Structure 1
Amino acid sequence: MKINDTGRVGGVNPYQRNMETQRQEARKMERRKDEVSISSEAIEMLEAQERSADPERVQRIQDLKQQVSSGTYHVEAGKIAEKLMPYFKSYSKSGDDE
């Protein structure tokens, strides 16, 4: 009866097998790379945050808030209508297609 199998090649040098395993793990680690991707929503949020930090914009918003609260803010209906006309024209054209 044989207790220890000394005829095995792998049993002769377990240190060498251990070193090979460590080399393979090191190669796997070298191949790994971290990647970061920023979504378009995150970019939009960042841009909005940068815009809101603009001191001129903050001052303009404060001025408008003060005018609205004091009742001195005047709405120019003509300017609003000019800005809305392209929207309504494109909306009516798309409604005709259906």
Structure 2
Amino acid sequence: MKINETNRIGAINPYHKQNEARASEAGKARRKDEVQISAAAKEMLTTSKANSAERQEKINQLKQSVASGTYHVEAGKIAEKLLPYLKE
């Protein structure tokens, strides 16, 4: 039996070195992601319509009509809104 290229055994070392480097990096403290919300964005959240009393009233009315089974969906209005997207 003949074994060719006996020096290929050393080719494993670069991979081994990469694994060692990754392992040492994992041990170090990593920076954590941070999110900063600007003052303008915070102001937009506070003045949002989603938090208004009128919006909440409408949501409650919709919930009641769905729960009682009196909520009616108009297929024509839905089709009109979807039509521009389907034409593209």
Structure 2-normalised TM-score? 0.48
* Higher-RCO chain (CA-CA 8 Å, sequence separation at least 6): 2
Higher alpha-carbon Rg: 1
Structure 1-normalised TM-score? 0.44
